[in-house]
Structure formats: C-alpha cells, structure tokens
Structure 1
Amino acid sequence: MPKPLPVIDVSAPICCAPLAAGPMSAEDAVELALRLKALADPARIQMMSLLMANPAREMTAGDLAAAVDVSGGTATHHLNQLRGAGLVTSERRGVNNFYRAEPASLEALRGVLDTCC
C-alpha cells in the first residue's frame, strides 16, 4: 500500500525562515516541498499566472481549462492541488467554483527562497 502524503495546514502561514538562514527542520522541509510540488507543473504555473495577472480576478475551472488547453477535469485536478497547497482559494456560486490566487502565499514562498536573510 502506498505511503500517504502529509497534509498541509493551509490556514497556517508558509513555514519557515529563508533557506539561507540556516538548517531547516525536517517538518518545515516537507511542508515547503509539498507547496513547491503543487507548482511543479506547467499547466499549474500557467493557471497561477492567469489568476495573478489581476489579483481581484476570479476564473472558473472551465475558463482556466480553455486558457491553458486542458480538459475541464484536468483543470479541476490541478486547481485542487493548488488549493490544497493554499495557493488558490475557491468560492462556489451556483454550479460553478470561482478560483482566485492567494498572492500572500506566493509572496511567502518567495521569501523562503530568498537568498538574503
């Protein structure tokens, strides 16, 4: 049976001090790796780019699917990965979920990767 992946507490802030600040704990390393893994796909990066082009912008999975040339199911899968990592949020209105980027989460990731302490 495959080993289950750890679950990220997306309500908590991004984990830790910049990488250059010194050794990182194993827990922080796992949390950071899971968040970065959520971004490690070209379609997800394109979706984040579309959502971040205008921070107030909201798009449905169907809109994002058409924009990055994937099926609706594939777009939903990618968006669920991004939402699970705390990089996007969604709001259900009628039959659609509207997705928006969480710029603070991406800014926190940038801060962790910053080479300056």
Structure 2
Amino acid sequence: MTAPSTLEPATGQDCCAPTGPTTLGAEDAKRKAVVFKALGDPNRLRLLSMVKAEASGEACVCDLTEPLGLGQPTVSHHLKILVDAGLLHRQKRGTWAYYSLVPGALDDVSGILATL
C-alpha cells in the first residue's frame, strides 16, 4: 500500500482564473432570491396557480380566500409578497384588488435556473 501524497500549493497564476461565464453577483443574487423566497411557500404557489388558471387572466382577492381556507388578510399578505417579487400585478377596483400574472414573469423564473 502506498502512502498518500501530500498536496503542493499551486504556483501558477492560471490556477484561480475564472474558466466559465461570470458568476452571479451579490446584488443580482439578492434580487433573484426574493423571487424564490416568494415561491417557497405552498400557499403562494397555489395562489399563482389559481390566478394563472383564471380564464379572464385575473382573480379577485375575494375569490382566492375560500379555496385556500385562509382569511382575507393572510391571503392579501401572500399576494403582496408575490407582487413585491414581480410575479403578480395588482389593480385596485373599488374595495377589491384584482391580481394578474406579470407577463413573462414565470419565464423569467425558469430563465434564472437555466443561467445558474
């Protein structure tokens, strides 16, 4: 049996040079993490699914509370997080708010994963 060899420190300047595409910067990573944090909750995933499934392309917050079994303030909180993440658009009409998908937002999410 041979003894394990010891590792010698690298001496060439090419040892640590980036070899591939530029990595994700700190600020860009923070912005993208907001999206994934928003998607990290099952209720928010369900809300996105329900809004996307609407034939009209939008859903009133009043129609989203019962299917989730959550109160209106909780559903509104989840929707606000999705809006802040750039996934949903909010339009106020009278006392109700209507939500629709931001065009291309879900494609952008898959694009984030494809570029990592």
Q: TM-score, normalised by structure 1?
A: 0.74
Find the aligned partners of 2:30 and 2:88 in 1 and give their Cα distance. Answer: 20
- Taking only the aligned residue pairs, the percentage that are identical comes to 33
Task: Give the CA deviation at 1:69.
Answer: 1.5
Deviation readout 1:18-74 (Å, 9 max, x if unpaired): xx9541101111111011111110000000011112474211212111122111110
- Checking the alignment, whether the CA contact within 8 Å between 2:52 and 2:58 is kept in structure 1 is no
Aligned to 1:31: 31
* Structure 1 gap ranges (5+): 1-19
Per-residue Cα deviation, 1:55-98 (whole angstroms, up to 9, x for no partner) = 74211212111122111110000001001111101111111111
Structure with the greater relative contact order (CA < 8 A, sep ≥ 6): 1 or 2? 1
1:105 partnered with 2:101:
no
Give the structure with higher Rg (CA). Answer: 2
- 2:59–2:100 contact (8 Å) kept in structure 1: yes
Q: TM-score normalised to the size of structure 2?
A: 0.75
Amino acid at match of 1:102: V
Between the aligned partners of 1:51 and 1:76, the Cα distance in structure 2 is 13
Give secondary structure in 2 for the equivalent of 1:89: strand
Unaligned runs of 5+ in 2: 1-19
Count of equivalent residues: 97
